[in-house]
Amino acid sequence: MPPISVARASADQEAGMNTTTIRLLTLAATGIVLAGCQTVSPQERRARDETTCASYGFRRGTDAFATCLQRIELDRRAEARAFRYESDILLRRPYWY
């Protein structure tokens, strides 16, 4: 009789491992798909920025419009720097924090 219970336990473990593997693969695939959705081409970014400046009331071709585009880009760069800075601080902490 003991061999049957050992076989049953082994089958249960394999089923659990298969379920875990399927879940992990599904999670990884979802992450890859979502990461692909976040990429924005420079042309798309420029079009969005132009739409934003136009919605603020600036006219295309004016110095004010160019200044608006420049400020949006500077803000984007500042946010990226702040994010990198925060990430660096978190990574430098001792593991017990």
Tens of pLDDT along 45-93? 999 999 999 999 999 999 999 999 999 999 999 999 998 888 777 677 6
Residue 22 token pair = 């399927």
Residue position matching structure tokens 């720097």:
81
- Whole-prediction pTM value? 0.54
Residue 12 pLDDT > 60:
no
Q: What angle do CA 89, 91, 97 make, to 5 degrees?
A: 90
Output the pLDDT for position 97.
57
Output the pLDDT for position 78.
96
